[in-house]
Chain A
Amino acid sequence: MPSVDGPAAPLDPPRSVSLTARLAGALALLLAAGGLLVAALAFAYGRGAARQAYDRLLVGAARQIADSTAPRDGAISVDLPVSAFELLALAPDDRVIYAVFAPDGRIVTGYDLPRPEPGFEGFYNGDFGGEPARFVVTDRLFAERDLSGPVAVVVGQTTRARGELARDITEHALVLVALAGLLMTALAAFAARSALEPLRRIERAIAGRPPTDLTPIGTPVPREIAGLTGALNRFMDRISRQSAATRTLIADASHQLRTPIAALRAQAELAAEEPDPARQRAIVGRIHDRSVTLSRLADQLLNHALIIHRADAVPRERLDLREVAIRATGEADRDLFASAAELHLDLPEEEVPCLGDALSLVEACKNLLFNALRHGRPPVTVSVRAEAGRAVLAVEDAGPGMPREHWADATTRYARGAGVSARSAGLGLAIVDAVARAHDGALRFGHTGEGHFIVALELPGVVR
């Protein structure tokens, strides 16, 4: 069971700024910046539109005045059209200034304006009585016997209406932006709610479960939070496996230890009641043998549980499979090979890297060695090699190995194939298989060319 160091964490985690507040903040920033941008753009557009609209009025009025000019007795006569001024009066609050220049540059009628550059036609900005004003110059060419050349008409108007129109357009644009902003805010609030709805569904699904239910969450969720449910499911799976391992350990222990201990006790009682010292010694010898077997069984049970626990709990690190083999043979020598049977190591020159937990792998290797020595025929060879992206650790003995029909369930606990002695608890291959699975690898059985039995632990390799 995992232990908790220090004070227990509260059940409700500390809260950071709410998503809605973050969204609102980001949106407010966006709208403020967007609003400023739109205001600037709208004002620029409004000014452009107002300029275009009122420039047309101005040039229309100037053309009408130009059309009303006529040569008479060698001079220019102007019959100022009312319609031209009605046109200008469409900007109702603006003052009007105008002048008509004869070809010789003298003012025919109108205000004392400076004469425009000969040949210049178009708009310019100026000032009329202390107010900014917009002017247009338009020419009309005469080619009469006594009068020829351009008559220039200048019409100007103050810019109050233009400013008002530009302001008007800007205000309308800003009202639209404000409305759009409100709409966006409402949509964002709605989006936040509906986006978080799957989380609430998961919350309800988890909250509604019985405490022992550790099955994966089946609630359908959008892709965006599938990662979260995936992580959650994997987390629960780990807890589930650990609790299963715990259950297995307890079950194994109760099942496997109870009988030998009961037998041991019976033997001990027998020994206590045996008056004949010789027979009593024989019974004590059996008690000793049974104790050794029981000790090994307890070892294996605990190892199995430890390895299954480590497979989930200990981070994998990069290691060299050759070192695993060396450590395993070294420890096996000490622990198992009292008989000093033949043991060979066949290691390549180069590193065979893989990701894994060294302790589990060493334990697995030791189990294979133990099996080979116990049930196989010496000499035993431990080989390590890298092949086709895999790192392989194989243990080979000179015997025929277990029959092929036992291979499929050899890793099942308590499987007792031919040649499995009473001294083994039958957990060795189950441990190796658990280690292989925990490392995303596999356990394989086979025969060499010479008919030697070989058990291989294949792990995914890593690039050197």
Chain B
Amino acid sequence: MRRAVLACAVLAGLGSGAAAQPGPEAVARYGAADAAHPILIQGALDIPAFAPALEAFVASHPAVAVTLEQWNTNDLFAAMTVACAGAAPVPDLVISSAVDQQVKLVNDACAQPYRSAGTAALPPERNWRDELFGLTSEPAVMVYNRALLPPGDAPASRFDLLDLLRREDGVYAGRIATYDIERSGIGYLFAFLDSIQATTFGGLIEAFGRARVVATCCSAEIVDAVARGEYLVAYNILGPYAMVRAATNPDLAVVTPSDYTLVLSRGAFIPKGARDPGAAGAFVDFLLSEPGRRALAETYLTPGPGNPPEDAQFTRPIPLSPVLLVGLDRQKRARLLALWRETFPETR
């Protein structure tokens, strides 16, 4: 049934890194080719994770056809910075997990307001200026391989992870992975928030260096490597990627740290100059509606039947607020990256 709605899904893997002009990593199309309202969504997201929601959307909104481009967070931010300055056409909707970058774009007057019953019902930390909306609820998790990790070693919090990293026997040396924060916007955001959330961050980064933690890209690759046994534990992974794989792989264990769990709400905004802001707004409303949430829950992007919400006591929702601009400050970023480079000299 889902296939019937899916008009055409093109996955066009593009060579990353060497490309001078950053572009989408993949493109998918949903809806009728001759729909009255074709819209373009540029997203720092995994197309398969959003496919159920898009299929449900075009099924209930036959007049809208969606072209969804999958981008790397940093590339999308760079492209949108150029587009917002008027140097390139803007899409109808921008979605990114790197909400600090989204906040920066909105702060720089790139977005237009959109108001509806759905956006008005959002809590304040998920609606900034009626321009940036938090669509999802995705915890930052730790993932480990049940088959390979002794039961007593299973980490439940950052303190447990620190203990593993400091083990003298070197069992975990080089077998723990996390995002490369220079290449991944979401990795950088998590690292920045860790640095301001808790004092464990200093110890953690020092231990990362000592245990030769691997910094790499990206969520999917890291989780797959844990599944293969290449890494034993992965830290600060965006929950849905791990949960989707854990659903079919019993060896994968997903842990929401019990000291505190960052919860990311993927931010979406309609750029100024969007060709069809009404249709883009309809898509936002759909994602915030009950059917939209159900579709997002299929891929664990929102709490659902198989994905209960975390205990509010330990969750720290990342608010869509100008506070996130601090992490993008060039000097702040330079400091954090310098610290990172000292910790992971071998990745350079």
Contact = CB atoms under 8 A, between A and B. Distances in A.
B325 A96 contact: yes
Contacts of A82: 196, 323, 326
Given A89-B321, A92-B321, A93-B129, A79 B107 contact: no
B325 A85 contact: yes
Say whether chain A's binding surface is mostly helix, strand, loop, or mixed: mixed
A378 B332 CA distance: 134
Interface string A80-98: 1110011011001111110
Contacts of B109: 95, 128-131
A92 B323 contact: no
B326 A95 contact: no
A95 B321 CA distance: 9
B331 A96 contact: no
B272 to A, nearest CB: 9
Interface in B104-139: 106-109, 124, 128-129
A179 to B, nearest CB: 30
Contacts, number: 53
Nearest to B84: A129
A131 to B, nearest CB: 7
Nearest to A160: B129
Contacts of B128: 92-93
Interface string B217-231: 000000000000000
A77 interface: yes
Contact of A85 (B106, B322, B331): B322
Contacts of B124: 92
A419 interface: no
A179 B45 CA distance: 55
B323 A79 contact: no
Contacts of A131: 109
A108 interface: yes
Contacts of A109: 329-332
Interface string B305-345: 00000000000000001110110011110010000000000
A86 B331 contact: no
A331 to B, nearest CB: 104
Given A78-B329, A79-B331, A109-B331, A89 B108 contact: no
Interface residues of B, number: 18
A33 B203 CA distance: 68
Contacts of A160: 129
Interface in A138-156: none
Contact of B329 (A93, A110, A130): A110
Interface residues of A, number: 24
A133 to B, nearest CB: 11
Interface centre among A82, A97, A108 (most CB of B within 10 A): A82
A80 B323 CA distance: 11
A86 B323 contact: yes
A79 B322 CA distance: 16
Nearest to A92: B124
Contacts of A88: 322
Interface string B94-112: 0000000000001111000
B326 A80 contact: yes
A93 B107 CA distance: 10
Given A95-B107, A131-B109, A80 B332 contact: yes
Nearest to B192: A82
Nearest to B330: A109
Contacts of B325: 85, 96
Interface string A52-94: 0000000000000000000000000111111001101100111
A131 B196 CA distance: 31
B196 A80 contact: no
Given A82-B323, A89-B323, A95-B322, A129 B331 contact: no
A113 to B, nearest CB: 13
Nearest to A81: B326
Contacts of B108: 95, 129
Contacts of A77: 331
A86 B331 CA distance: 18
Nearest to A85: B323
Contacts of B322: 85, 88-89, 94-96
B107 A80 contact: no
A110 B108 CA distance: 12
A58 to B, nearest CB: 13
Contacts of B106: 95
Nearest to B329: A80
B337 to A, nearest CB: 14
Contacts of A97: 107
Contacts of A95: 106-109, 129, 322
B322 to A, nearest CB: 4
A79 B196 CA distance: 12
9 closest Cβ pairs, A-B complex: A129-B109, A109-B331, A96-B322, A80-B329, A85-B323, A78-B331, A95-B107, A93-B129, A89-B321
Interface of B: 106-109, 124, 128-129, 196, 321-323, 325-326, 329-332, 335
15 contacts: A79-B332, A80-B331, A82-B326, A85-B322, A85-B325, A88-B322, A89-B323, A92-B124, A96-B107, A108-B331, A109-B329, A109-B330, A109-B331, A129-B109, A160-B129
Given A85-B321, A93-B129, A96-B107, 15 more contacts: A78-B329, A78-B331, A78-B332, A79-B331, A79-B335, A80-B329, A85-B325, A89-B322, A92-B124, A92-B321, A95-B109, A95-B322, A96-B325, A109-B332, A129-B109
Interface of A: 77-82, 85-86, 88-89, 92-97, 108-110, 128-131, 160
